[in-house]
Amino acid sequence: MGANISTNDDHGEYLYLPQSKTCFDDIPESFISSMMMRFEPQEICKLGRVNKTFHRASSSNFIWESKLPPSYKFLVNKIFGEEKLCSMTKKEIYAKLCQPNFFDGGTKEVWLDKCSKQVCLFISSKSFKITGIDDRRYWNYIPTEESRFKSVAYLQQMWWVEVLGELEFEFPKGNYSIFFKLQLGKTTKRLGRRVCNLEQVHGWGIKPVRFQLSTSDGQRSVSQCYMNGPGEWAYYHVGDFVIEKNNGPINIKFSLAQIDCTHTKGGLCIDGATICPKELAHKLKQF
């Protein structure tokens, strides 16, 4: 089965020379690295366990840079600072970005979706401009384990409800959706069980809430809906925007408002907002 090679000597007689055996260690590292670019990150890590050559190949910078979005330098600067960009390998950057990372004083959280190489972003209610937020008669920040930010904005009662969010961020190419995460009612724990106090919930069934979205490149969206389902967190769709090419940061403004002053509104909890790839919107509750 190819174990020997035959040749003839000067007298015309055949000599049989043993054929050397080929193993994984004989495969050039550059070839292995090029091959690995075709695989998903999880598969690359598994191949890196084969032997030392595969392990070195699986750590090549050009492999992992191909798995990163074009905006990865912006993300690293935002999260870790510019000095970290030069000291981290591309594999380390990929691993760090695939984990949830807080930035902007802990008011925002971002991570990279492993499948799409797109960005998912959560924004805390503490980064919003909320009308009357400094007046404790109307609004309070209340602690809760139900928020990744450990607190939510709670409206007791007010005539004019307006919440504005703004973000400047560099997104990879793709389609994105924005949602507010809201709940009617204030959640507490009683004897270890979740209890939602609905006493202050009122005024939301009279007129719909208006949602607006605008971007610095001219995209706009307006929608409205009634709030319902008290006692449960819900994601309310604000709008969608498209990043057609990687041209640097884009400025995004989004808002919710119920400013009909014929009646008061109350009992609203605002956890924050979510920006995610449009194709992942159906998985919001899993984030």
Token representation of residue 115: 């499948």
Task: Label the pairing between strands 193-197 and 161-169.
Answer: unpaired
Strand (E) or helix (H) holding 206: none
Q: Tell which residue, 130, 150, 134, 133, has the closest CA to residue 142.
A: 150
Q: What domains does the chain contain, in order, with CATH numbers?
A: 19-65 (1.20.1280), 115-281 (2.60.120.260)
* Structure confidence at residue 38 (pLDDT): 83
* Structure confidence at residue 77 (pLDDT): 92
* Structure confidence at residue 2 (pLDDT): 46
Report the C-alpha gap between 273 and 121 in whole angstroms: 8
Radius of gyration of the chain (CA): 28
* Structure confidence at residue 133 (pLDDT): 96
* Structure confidence at residue 1 (pLDDT): 44
pLDDT digits (tens, 9 = 90+) for 5-62: 444 545 555 545 455 555 656 677 777 788 888 888 888 888 888 888 888 888 889 8
Q: What is the pTM assigned to this prediction? A: 0.84
Report the C-alpha gap between 29 and 81 in whole angstroms: 33
Report mean pLDDT in 10-residue bins for the chain, 287 residues.
48 53 66 82 86 85 90 92 86 94 96 86 98 96 95 97 97 94 94 92 95 97 93 96 90 97 96 95 78
* Structure confidence at residue 17 (pLDDT): 47
* Structure confidence at residue 169 (pLDDT): 96
Q: What is the CA angle 128-68-31, rounded to 5?
A: 175
Q: What is the CA angle 171-177-183, rounded to 5?
A: 125
* Structure confidence at residue 210 (pLDDT): 98
